Structure 1
Amino acid sequence: MQDVGKLAQVSAMTVSRVLKNDPGVSEATRERVFAAVDRLGYRRNQTARSLRLGGSGMIGLVVTNLANPFYSRLALGVQEVATEYGFRMLLSNSAEQSEREPDLIDGLVDHQVEGLIVVPAGSRQQHLAGAMRHVPVVLAARPPAGLDTDCVLVEDFHGAREATACLLSEGHTRIAFLGNPPALYTGAERLRGFWAAHEEAGVEPDSTLIRQGLVDAATAERAALDLLDRSKGPTALFCTNNRISQGAIRALYRTGTTLPLAGFDDFDLSDVLGLPLTLVSYDADEIGRQAARLLVDRLDRREGEPPAPRRVTVPTRVIRHGVPSGGPRSAPPSPA
């Protein structure tokens, strides 16, 4: 700024006022400063400025699968609140590989982020305890394991129980369960809700119709095809996330079968597929917003006594698409 000021024949302070669009600077001075900026190719070093003022002004976000629309929406929620409070967001993707996560966390801490929001890729979280010695950490979508920190969760158990209860109320007693790995909190809680709905209805789930460890649409499609090929297959399906639901829908399409499907996460075009769908919906953006608010609150309290760990739960609601089945139906013949 001193070089720009010298060329424009003004002080460095005046250069700063121009770059901040201070209305008290004359138009002639503004034009001279911008001409000098263009000539010298000046760009303000925001990182150096933030460090001088105390803190980098950045927060880090680590998600497990950026290709999943859920995490894209969560990131938008984090960014919304970060921008509101003057922070920038650095985003990293672990690709659901828990062994990659410690390096991503260390890299963000090394880049001087002031805090972290993390969706853990696995149940082992010792590396997060190490990061918490340097910056506050808030977890999203999955709870802390052996850590004293804030987290934002979804009503996984309640949503799965409610959606499964809808199928049971229609007379379905052979409901297949297509779930993500049981070691994940969401997989375990949604199976627990699925089981609880059966217990409340007085129906014993068929364990041979339960498939876990599905990681994407392709594995879900193969599992669903295997179940649909059984002589005594399911009359309805429950899926624990949007990718698994999409894989199951592909299996139904390939076999020419129409079965009611319940699952977590609404997804694009679900309302125009013409299938009987019961979907657990929630505001993924709100998960990100709540996590960012908890983190900003911890950053504001760095000089005082930190708050006790807090847990925020984002509510779910069940939405219905298509025509309810009205009871179990056999699969129609495959189309020509």
Structure 2
Amino acid sequence: MREVASRAGVSVKTVSRVFNDDPHVMPETRERVQRAIRELNYVPNVLATTFRAGRSSVIGVAVPDIVDPFFAAIARAIDRQARRHGISTLVASLGDNPADERPTIESLLSRKLSGLIFAPIHDDQSYLHRWIEHTPLVCIDRAPTNLDVDTFTADDEGGAYLATTHLIDRGHTRVAYLGDSLRQSTERARLVGWRRANAERGLDPSAELIVGGVSDVAAARDAAARLTSLALPPTALFSSNARTTMAILRALRDDPPALVGFGDFPLADLLHPAVTVIDQNPDRLGELAAERVLARTHQEHAPLAAPEAVAVQLITRESCTPFRQ
């Protein structure tokens, strides 16, 4: 910047004002500075800017799987909202191993982010207490444990209740629950909704109808084999997340089951049969999280809001037709 200022015959502060598009710089001065910038091929030193400001103009986003349609949609919504404020996003996958959460999160935070939005995968986030005073933190999709931060989730229990009730009302009295990691707070809430729907319809499903660990095609095939071998096999499936739903559909594509999935995904409406889903509204979740973390960059010590659960919607398609004996 000093070299640009020297060539243009202005102060370093004027160069900064031109680069930041300050409208109060005289047109002829602006042109001299811009010409010097072009001649010297000047670009700003982002690291120096970060040190001066105390934090970078970047929001971190950490989710279990950036390929998962739900989390990909959340990341897109956060990025869209951030760009409206001239802020970039840095996205990372936490993966499936809870032990990877802390090193990944702390690696992001060490970059002096403007804020961090993340979906917890570990059962304890107390390690983040020392970061709260320095960086706005917001949890998405899943509530943290041993940490008080702003949190936005979908109505997991209500969505599972809607899906299961929809299947039961179409004649399915044995609705299996297929999920991924049953220890996650989202899964626990969806199990509550599944159980509540059965109880309100006078049904008492056995534990053998609950299958976890269905995260890929091989696991989906194993789950289907286990369920069909039961003395009273299920007549329909409730899948607790989009990744599980897609694994089931690939594994059973020659004989698609009656199914409702939690979470919409690309082409779900074009499959045969088209898949009935619970829409979690990931765009809204991402927007809310981005708005909150951006607000906290200006008002860091504002009181925490109560955790907010975004309403979900049942999208009825063809995959849950009435059961016929």
Partner amino acid, structure 1, of 2:106: D
Aligned counterpart, 1:333: none
Aligned counterpart, 1:268: 266
Matches within 5 A, 1:166-185: 166-185=166-185
Identity of aligned residues (%): 33
Aligned counterpart, 1:130: 130
- Conservation of the 8 A alpha-carbon contact between 1:175 and 1:234: yes
TM score, norm. by length of structure 1: 0.86
| Partner Cα separation in structure 1 for residue 107 and residue 297 of structure 2 | 20
Residue 55 (str. 1) matches residue 62 (str. 2): no
- Conservation of the 8 A alpha-carbon contact between 1:8 and 1:36: yes
| Partner Cα separation in structure 2 for residue 103 and residue 245 of structure 1 | 30
| Partner Cα separation in structure 1 for residue 297 and residue 30 of structure 2 | 39
- Conservation of the 8 A alpha-carbon contact between 1:260 and 1:276: no
Residue 314 (str. 1) matches residue 310 (str. 2): yes
Matches within 5 A, 1:321-336: 321-322=317-318, 324-328=320-324
Aligned counterpart, 1:283: 281
TM score, norm. by length of structure 2: 0.89
- Conservation of the 8 A alpha-carbon contact between 1:261 and 1:276: no
Partner amino acid, structure 2, of 1:186: T
Aligned counterpart, 1:332: none
Structure 1 range deviating more: 289-298 or 116-125: 289-298
Describe the superposition over 1:208-245 as per-residue Cα deviations: whole angstroms up to 9, x where unpaired.
22211333444234312432455643211110011111
Aligned counterpart, 2:84: 84
Kindly state the Cα deviation for residue 154 of structure 1 after the two structures are TM-superposed. 0.6
Aligned counterpart, 2:251: 251
SS in 1 for 2:116: strand
- Conservation of the 8 A alpha-carbon contact between 2:70 and 2:265: no
| Partner Cα separation in structure 2 for residue 127 and residue 216 of structure 1 | 31
Q: Give aligned pairs, total.
A: 324
- Conservation of the 8 A alpha-carbon contact between 1:221 and 1:250: no
SS in 2 for 1:111: coil
| Partner Cα separation in structure 2 for residue 187 and residue 314 of structure 1 | 16
| Partner Cα separation in structure 1 for residue 35 and residue 297 of structure 2 | 39
Structure 1 range deviating more: 205-214 or 32-41: 32-41
| Partner Cα separation in structure 2 for residue 61 and residue 51 of structure 1 | 21
Residue 67 (str. 1) matches residue 63 (str. 2): no
SS in 1 for 2:120: coil
Residues 28 and 125 of structure 1: is their aligned pair in 2 closer, same or farther, counting only changes over 3 Å?
A: closer
Residues 29 and 137 of structure 1: is their aligned pair in 2 closer, same or farther, counting only changes over 3 Å?
A: closer
| Partner Cα separation in structure 2 for residue 67 and residue 88 of structure 1 | 20
Structure 1 range deviating more: 139-148 or 107-116: 107-116
Residues 53 and 193 of structure 1: is their aligned pair in 2 closer, same or farther, counting only changes over 3 Å?
A: same
Alignment gaps of 5+ in structure 1? 330-336
- Conservation of the 8 A alpha-carbon contact between 1:298 and 1:307: no
